[in-house]
Amino acid sequence: MATSTITLRVTAEEKAFFSKMAEFNALSVSELIREKALEALEDQSDFQKYQAAMSSHQKKDESLSLKEMRAELGL
Q: How far apart are CA 32 and CA 54, in angstroms?
A: 33
28 torsion bin: left (phi>0), alpha (psi -120 to 50), beta (else)? beta
> For the whole model, what pTM was predicted?
0.70
3-state secondary structure of 10: coil
The pLDDT, as a whole number, for residue 28 is: 97
Per-residue pLDDT reduced to its tens digit, 4-60: 999 999 999 999 999 999 999 999 999 999 999 999 999 999 999 999 999 998 888
- pLDDT over 90 at 1, yes or no: no
Residue 37: which of 70, 72, 8, 62 has the closest Cα? Answer: 8
Number of helices and strands (H, E) in the chain? 3, 0
